[in-house]
Amino acid sequence: MRASLPLISILCVCLAGLVVAACSGQPARPLPREPKVDVPRFMGDWYVIAHIPSWPEREAFDAVESYAPRPDGRIQTTFTYRKGSFDAPLKTMHPIGRVKADGGGAVWDMQFVWPVQAEYVIAWVSPDYQQTIVARSKRDYVWFMSRTPQVSAADYQRAIARIAALGYDTSKVRRVPQAPR
């Protein structure tokens, strides 16, 4: 009986560690989102103005995310960017989005590689659908996008304040260089 007591203690410590690890990945508070997004109006080109980037887009220049409806109801996404400079060759990714039925048009799954689907939440969109912030509950990535490649300093600062209010560490936000058009 004595020999099994340390084993039980070790198992309890391991189990507690797994529970803490599982819970630590959860956000401290729910991610706010737009209550209703007009998905057809959201379609089209969005210039990435700033982001907390995922691995492929860490050095993105001229990043543009484009959305188009597919006949099967999903969203064809085309993400183009240049890695490291304005002169770099254009790179393209083609994830597929799926608008979740219970999200008011604001909650999507984005699939880059089958079968993995990433959360994609339209946390804010301007009333005229000219600017948006896309976020994730984990607060690991965020994108501030606009229909134009440049925004005013005031719009940029308002977006950074919105990103902070969502619970993000804004020191991680990177402004994406966009060539004048």
pLDDT score recorded for residue 118: 85
Asked if residue 15 is part of any domain, the answer here is: no
3-state secondary structure of 139: coil
State which residues form the domain around 75: 39-175
Residue 115: predicted pLDDT: 74
**Domain count of the chain?**
1
Per-residue pLDDT, 117: 79
In-domain check, residue 160: yes
Q: What pLDDT was estimated at residue 27?
A: 43
25 within domain boundaries: no
The secondary structure of residue 4, as a DSSP letter, is: H
pLDDT at 56: 86
Whichever domain contains 147, its CATH number is 2.40.128.20
CA distance 108 to 114: 15
Residue ranges of the chain with per-residue pLDDT less than 70: 1-28
Task: Return the pLDDT at 28.
Answer: 56
pLDDT of residue 180: 84
Residue 180 lies in a domain: no
Q: What is the pLDDT of residue 130?
A: 98
Interacting residues of 67 by C-beta distance below 8 A, sequence separation 6+: 42, 43, 44, 46, 75, 76, 77, 97
In a domain, 1, yes or no: no
Q: By the 8 A CB rule, do 75 and 65 touch? A: no
**Could you tell me the pTM of the whole model?**
0.83
Q: Determine, yes or no, domain membership for 128.
A: yes
What does the pLDDT read at residue 145? 98
Judge whether 138 lies within some domain: yes
Residue 125 counted as domain residue: yes
